[in-house]
Structure 1
């Protein structure tokens, strides 16, 4: 059974869900999600002999959401993971992340390899620091219409999503899923800054089979205090680029696994398909070729729970 509690970590109070005994596996959610996005992995991983812990990361759900936008840098987020491992009485852990949780997992392995037994990322591939700040690069490429740049406008996306939280989340989850009509066509997530992002998103009459009304209820409740904390992660993209300059050119050295869907919008971002193709050569620590899930959209572990759980268990057991 999944149990819940609050835990003090790195100067903030985090809500965590946990189940099982054995080596620690930390599961990190993305945007706009919560610990609940890993609900299908708890049982299989716990039954396989692992201690599974999924926090609401800072800015999300029942966890603290600092007011200062500067409190959401990659150093703060990695610091939360390291602090969580120690607070749980462990010295090392496997770290797994999806969407925004993936960069946190990858950077935890990059910055603190001494504490990471193995790392897995879903949707977002391992980090290879570019030659210019990401927000500036996307602003230049798409004339300010890329969703990162829209999110970077203080208060704007916050207000759009909070106006009708349940509808916003329903639209967002359907739009980015493998069930959406345009999924897998390589369309970039561009936003008309005057109309907002949700205006052109389809609103499904029936939710996909893998995403129930109960799931939507839980997600809506987790954003009852708004979206600003979660959006502040995006507002640190250029600052993260500056902060990680000392690690430019380095690669994740710990055993690594990458899983993505062939209808996911993120692996189609500019330059990402080429990166994924080169990953086996770029990262000697990659456990095997990236796993591509047919017909799967962005919500990897929710759209393909059995396949993701099986791949994770095989990988975790294979780590030295």
Structure 2
């Protein structure tokens, strides 16, 4: 990792290879380490691969204000990183929260984002009302995203024992849960977010002790408050994005999700709608046995799909 100064701020990034650029954007609670399996295959295929720790994460620009984590700030960071690295165009690949950053970057800056890949979170057109408001009206007041809205509460819980936090979160939404066990996104009355999770008897095969230690060290250094601020801008993002309503992502696109990702239960309709709202969708793939951390749990399948997609883009054959 190296630190790069940009017009947004300083970002800790991993930058390897030469050739057409691929920008990898992680989710929550992850870091650039979540892309560890993608670097070698993409670099070997002739691509320049860039993965930042995003705003608020370990070693990167981390302002205090909640309002500083809107989707417009996050898209601005992605473009500022490309500027600082003198990259004219890149393919944006995002997982989890990184997927909305990638989708919105493609929507707002087609001059800089040549194509886009979303993992685990599909692109969705702007809805008729703020998302959190819609959740409350639907009676989902104990949804974890609503639980996250109170500053200080969840970060105190997660930071109490970062090792336990990371172990339980990474395991609980993975495809490694035993048959019949399902993570549910609802916080019990009087409980905390970790009460929705499971304690593993042992780490799943896709997550080594070393990988877990890297995540633990990162969040022990940076904490969870600023990454949680991304969630605290969900309704603000809706309010600010009115001018984007009706725009379409016309660049080549790809979507990947794990068959055992618990988000698939609620996001299934959005996944089904992708061919109707993405004019140049070149694939919509559900990877068997993988859960939410699809690029970590099924790296060979994800890398094959990425290389096939990149190889079909003009000027991106590596």
Same fold by TM-score, threshold 0.5 exceeded? yes
Given the alignment, which residue of 19, 24, 34 partners 1:22? Answer: 19
Residue 216 (str. 1) matches residue 229 (str. 2): no
* CA deviation string 1:50-99 (max 9, x = no partner): 00010000111111211011110000000000011111111111110000
How well do the aligned residues superpose, as a CA RMSD in angstroms? Answer: 1.4
Match of 2:305 in 1: 311
Counterpart of 1:301?
295
CA contact (8 A) 1:26 1:96 kept: yes
Q: Given the alignment of the two structures, is residue 195 of structure 1 paired with residue 186 of structure 2, yes or no? A: no
Measured in 2, the distance between the counterparts of 1:164 and 1:86 equals: 38
- Judged with a 3 Å threshold, the aligned counterparts in structure 2 of structure 1 residues 106 and 184 are, in CA distance, closer, same or farther, namely farther
Between the two proteins, the alignment pairs up a number of residues equal to 313
Query: 3-state DSSP class of the match of 1:179?
Result: coil
Match of 1:42 in 2: 39
Question: Unmatched 5+ residue regions in structure 2?
Answer: none
Shift of residue 200 of structure 1?
Answer: 4.3
Contact 2:8/2:76, CA 8 A, preserved across alignment: no
Would the alpha carbon gap of residues 144 and 182 (structure 1) be closer, same or farther in structure 2, given more than 3 Å must change?
A: farther
- Looking at structure 2, the residues matched to 64 and 201 of structure 1 have their Cα atoms a distance apart, in angstroms, of 30
* Separation (CA, whole Å) in 2 of partners of 1:206 and 1:183: 18
2:228 is the alignment partner of 1:231: yes
- Contact conserved, 1:263 with 1:295, CA < 8 A, in 2? yes
Preserved contact between residue 119 and residue 294 of structure 2 (Cα < 8 Å): yes
| Residues 183, 265 of structure 1: 8 Å contact kept | no
TM-score, normalised by the number of residues in structure 1 = 0.95
Corresponding position of 1:207? 203
State how far apart, in whole Å, the 1-side matches of 2:169 and 2:180 are: 13
CA pair 182-241 structure 1, distance change in 2 beyond 3 A:
farther
CA shift, 1:181, in A, is: 3.1
**Cα drift, residue 193 of structure 1:** 5.2
Deviation of the 1:194 alpha carbon: 1.9
Output the TM-score relative to the length of structure 2: 0.95
1:248 CA displacement: 1.3
Aligned equivalents of 2:113, 2:198: Cα separation in 1 = 40
1:286 matched residue in structure 2: 281
Residue 123 of structure 1 is matched in structure 2 by 120
Please tell me whether residue 76 in structure 1 is matched to residue 73 in structure 2.
yes
SS in 2 for 1:135: helix
Cα distance in 1 for partners of 2:124, 2:82 equals 22
- Residue of 166, 170, 175 corresponding to 1:178: 175
Match in the other structure for 1:91: 88
1:256 to 253, 270, 293: 253
Q: Which residue of 2 aligns with 1:67?
A: 64
More displaced, 134-143 or 305-314?
A: 134-143
Structure 1 Cα separation of the partners of residues 117 and 176 of structure 2: 25
